[in-house]
Amino acid sequence: MKKVNIIVLLVVILSLTTSLLADVATGNALLKEKKYAEAREEFQKALPELKGLQASDIQNQIGYTYYKENKFKEAIEEYEKTLQIEGGRASTKANALTQIARLLITPDKNYEGAREAYKRIFEIEGLRDYYKARAQYLISTTYFTEKNYKETISEAKKALEMEGIDDSTKSMAFLFIGRAQKAEKNYKEALEAYLEFETLLKNEAYLPEVRSAIGEIYFIEEKYPQAREKFTQIISAEKASKSYKSLSHLKLAQSYLAEKNNEKALEEFKILVEAPYVQIAHKRTVEKTIKELTEN
């Protein structure tokens, strides 16, 4: 009789497990199809029977479905539930708090609330240092958005000093230090930060911005050959946008004007005015300059 009861129990457990897995699998499939409400329904069906890691992950997914529907208040509420589940992954909790911070910023611009959410990441037990360093860097970005450049620099430097910081986060911290120092017109310090970013070379999407900023600083410091080197790198880069290429070529030509090398400046202006990437606003300036140079 005991053997029969055990077999029946095992069949029931196996049946429940199979049903749960099916609900989760269906939810994930619907999520990929961007059917967020339907995916959420499947996750909610499975959630009461789940515990620990699985419950935490699925609860996080529920929050994500609301986020994708732009239902930010509901998303925050669901992400907060993720934090209350015992035995949940530390990384899942960090992700939930990161999402909460982002949702507080968009659309309410609650930067102080976002910073508090990021700081809560430091308190998660068993969390890898990488996540804490990234949270610290993200705190600096909130200050930059508020144009509080001194705090941006201070908080980003704290991230750089933290153990476990990865090169990608490190490069982004240097980027925001560079941006903030440049905004404060601390060009020496900005240049140092931008050059550190360029050396790490972990976020190539920002390279045109960084090289443009380096070129501008060299231009301001009247180091024209060094400025041209950076502008040329942008012009020749396949992934650089037309606006960055156009601005860089304009600055390159203007650097020759600053050196009173009108012949070379005119040559570059003529190339730029016919370039496929020239921007309308720049083209007007270039045409006017070409006219002035040819008349003199």
> Using an 8 Å Cβ cutoff, are 251 and 227 in contact?
yes
Top-ranked range on mean pLDDT: pick from 4-8, 12-16, 169-173, 197-201: 169-173
pLDDT for residue 26: 86
Grade residue 201 by pLDDT with cuts at 50, 70 and 90: confident
Listed residue (241, 242, 245, 222) closest to 233, CA to CA: 245
119 token code pair: 């700081």
pLDDT for residue 17: 58
68 token code pair: 């994708």
Q: What angle do CA 99, 101, 103 make, to 5 degrees?
A: 70
Q: What whole-number distance in Å separates Cα of residue 110 and Cα of residue 103?
A: 9
Mean pLDDT of the chain: 92
**At a CB cut-off of 8 Å and minimum separation 6, what does 250 contact?**
272, 282, 285, 286
Grade residue 4 by pLDDT with cuts at 50, 70 and 90: very low
Q: What whole-number distance in Å separates Cα of residue 268 and Cα of residue 270?
A: 5
Global pTM reads 0.89
Q: How would DSSP label each residue in 104-154?
A: HHTTT--HHHHHHHHHHHTT-TT--HHHHHHHHHHHHHHHHHTT-HHHHHH
Q: Could you check whether the bond before residue 225 is cis, i.e. omega within 30 degrees of 0? A: no
**pLDDT tens-place string over residues 120-151:** 999 999 999 999 999 999 999 999 999 999 99
CA 103 to chain centre: 15
- Share of residues in the chain with pLDDT > 70 (%): 93
CA 75 to chain centre: 20
Q: What whole-number distance in Å separates Cα of residue 127 and Cα of residue 16?
A: 32
**pLDDT tens-place string over residues 150-160:** 999 999 999 99
**pLDDT tens-place string over residues 31-52:** 999 999 999 998 899 898 888 8
pLDDT for residue 20: 66
Grade residue 5 by pLDDT with cuts at 50, 70 and 90: very low
Which domains are present in the chain? 21-127 (1.25.40.10)
User: b/e map of 76-102 (b: 16 or more CB within 10 Å)?
Assistant: bebbebbbebeebbebbbbbbbbbbbb
